[in-house]
Chain A
């Protein structure tokens, strides 16, 4: 069935380090892909999305490119800040709009 797999956490980085969180998916159709973020004590927020192959989503310095050939949507940021500490969820959506989430990756950024 349709599914999303994310790299295991927690990921611990120093401020200004480069971030990559891997995400791969399995889908029968042509999904849209999303990254959602959950800051401590807050609800899920959309970080970025891509709706077709080779699209790049970007927001707040984060980027992810929809790679159909490798069924991947890896999240990257060139220089993380302490305020980026959160749980990051990769998700896919098919025709009905239902979101299928990965298990989440906790990012901890130390000053």
Chain B
């Protein structure tokens, strides 16, 4: 079974530029998550989708971050404009369903450096 795919793996941009990350979840997984992991910290949820609807985006800085999951499968996370503090690893995860007992499967992440 193929795992969660993410691209690109690495990205270097200058502040005020825009960037987009792509995620393809495990086939059949209805729930998709984007997490931000700053160096030395645990991942923090940015947004959670159930199919193509948003379940939780309370921690998403909506003035600069946006995300979509148009057909309920793959997803794109965008930052525009980027700030220095956005330097982090962006992790995508998916799970079969939604709920406390579900196991989330993580992709390899996209490492972003903002200069």
User: Which residues of chain A have a CB within 8 Å of any CB of chain B?
Assistant: 4, 30-32, 34, 36, 42-46, 49, 51, 89, 91, 93-104
* Cα–Cα, bound, A46→B4 (Å): 14
A1 to chain B, nearest CB (A): 11
B99 at the interface (CB under 8 A from A): yes
The answer to whether A97 and B42 touch (CB under 8 A), given A42-B108, A43-B107, is no
Q: Which residues of B contact A42 (CB under 8 A)?
A: 108
Residues of A near B102 (CB, < 8 A) are 93, 97
* B100 & A95 in contact (Cβ 8 Å cutoff): yes
Contact yes or no, A89 B42, CB < 8 A: yes
Question: Which residues of chain A are near B104, meaning CB under 8 Å?
Answer: 46, 97, 99
Least CB separation from A94: chain B residue: B100
User: Is B91 an interface residue when CB atoms closer than 8 A count as contact?
Assistant: yes
Contact present for A97 and B95 (CB under 8 Å): yes
B residues 90-115 touching A (CB-CB < 8 Å)? 91, 93, 95, 97-109
Task: Enumerate 12 A-B pairs (CB-CB under 8 Å) in ascending A order.
Answer: A31-B100, A43-B106, A43-B107, A44-B93, A89-B42, A89-B43, A97-B104, A98-B45, A98-B48, A99-B35, A101-B42, A104-B42
